[in-house]
Amino acid sequence: MSKIGRLPISLPAGAEVLVEGRVVKVTGPKGTLSLKLPRGIEVAIEGDIVTVAAKGKSKSDMSNHGTIRALINNNVRGVTTGWSKQLELVGTGFRAEVAGTTLVLTVGYSHPVKIEAPEGITFKVEKTFVTVEGCSREVVGQVSATIRGVRPPEPYKGKGIKYTDEVIRRKAGKAAAKTTGAA
């Protein structure tokens, strides 16, 4: 049995979980998220405690047990406190600005790159930092990865778009290779 799957999920004030057939809906002050349950998983709600259980002993039921519990917990946290990721633009002249729901990136191409915010996602720009916020952890992560994919950091000078907690492994360049090379 999954160690994570056995843990109960306590609902904070303002969060509500409903099970309608095979769909779990989580509602809170930041929005509503839903999750479709796989066949071998059951969700029980007792007051402000949510428990997830595997019906059978099959490999797929046991595999999904902890995953579904973690996804429901992420949804509960998302609708109450929300999720955010912060990216940093590293490079001379690299900048970002928000125009309505569109993020406009100027990152060394001949044209500005525009990224539309999906429903429930907001962008905040402070100097060279871009913050992506929303209630769905999955969507926040995907939008952040799309932004980073516009200009991933390169290993020689470290220029590009990176997560603030990301460490870029730097390489020496040609000049360093010539001085240490065979003579």
72 and 90 part of one domain? no
Give the pLDDT score at 3.
87
Number of domains observed in the structure of the chain: 2
Q: Which of 135, 132, 121, 119 is nearest to 31 (CA)?
A: 135
Give a yes or no: residue 178 inside a domain.
no
- Residue pair 52/72 in contact (Cβ under 8 Å)? The answer is yes
As given in the structure block, the two tokens for residue 51 are 């428990």
Where is pLDDT greater, at 56 or 131?
Answer: 131
Q: Residue 130 sits in a domain of what CATH number?
A: 3.90.930.12
Q: Which residues contact 177 (CB under 8 A, 6 or more apart)?
A: none
Give the pLDDT score at 174.
84
| 146: containing domain | 83-163
Give a yes or no: residue 176 inside a domain.
no
pLDDT class for 181, splitting at 50, 70, 90? low
Q: Which residues pair with 50 in a beta bridge?
A: 9, 45
